Structure 1
Amino acid sequence: MKTLIATLMIAAPLLAVGQSAVAQTTPKAKATATKKAVAKKAPAKKGTKAATAAAAGAGAAAVAAGPASAALSAEDLAVSERVFKGRIPCELGAYVNVTADAANPGYFIVDGRGFKYHMSPVKTSTGTVRLEDKAAGAVWLQIANKSMLMNQKAGQRLADECMAPEQQQVAEAIRKNPPPSLLDNK
């Protein structure tokens, strides 16, 4: 009896993880079906440059406009007002473009070399600006002196040491007048 209970306690979390993995693959299948349907509606003949451009443009427009998004709370809208927008340079010559989504107030399109995410603000207890694309697992974190883009599903940073002009000023001020160390005895 004890063995049966122990086996069930071990198997229950594994079943829950499997269920969530199946639930996460369903939206991807729907997105693929939607892209195929948009490509079929293109007026040009298959194989032509116009058909390829129309299909690519329709897919890009769907990502750029973002899916129909839920309305944000007042706290999330307050977070979205503090997001630095524009082309933000990062380390190693990389960059990130952060633009407001005109169709969905408070949402942002975050893109760069090889990635494009539709992100929404998330309130944090520390006051850090956090944008998330939950479907893709991407997170944009913005603190006073730098920003970074991470892909939590892949477990990697996509961009680091990204600094908007305001953040560069804070970083320079920290370099000129470093804060006292927490380890110093005074």
Structure 2
Amino acid sequence: MKQLVLAACIGAFTLTTAGVATAQDPATKAAPAKKAPAKKAPAKKAATTETAAVPKGEKWQCELGHVLYIGGNMQRDEVITVNWEGKEYRLPRLSTVTGADRYFDARSGLDLVVIPSKAMLFNKNAGQRLADECQTADMQAGGSAPTQAGALRAPVATPLLVAPPAPAADAAPKQ
């Protein structure tokens, strides 16, 4: 009985190895089917290269030679377009308690933080800062960033907590 079971196992093993050996025969390989998708992949890359976004919007010059372009009105738009390294990203506005303007897209991981003196671009997915000390030409000349928080501030020339001057007629004593 043991010999019969042993013979059956050896026979089954021989049949399975013979099937694997015939499957590896060069005449029956499916190699051409694998090469066809590989040829299509470079065509897709060429298509994305052709549709590379032309930078639109305001140019922000960053340290280390990085440049990003921001399209849209940062003082009123809820979604702005950021062109970073030839790709366009649509970043929706997030509300903050600090007064900084923040735009974050969870899909791409890009996070743009704008304060009156500079802008910073982060990649939350990679956990790194992509660009720092980004400024427009106006900011480099001494202006402030075109932020929503900056637009809500009162101009420096008109202080908020100063009492209006008394009229001259009321200030003079009556005789």
State the TM-score bracket (shorter-chain normalisation).
0.3 to 0.5
The structure with more helix, counted as a fraction of residues: 1
- TM-score norm. by structure 1 comes to 0.43
- TM-score norm. by structure 2 comes to 0.46
Higher CA-based Rg: 2
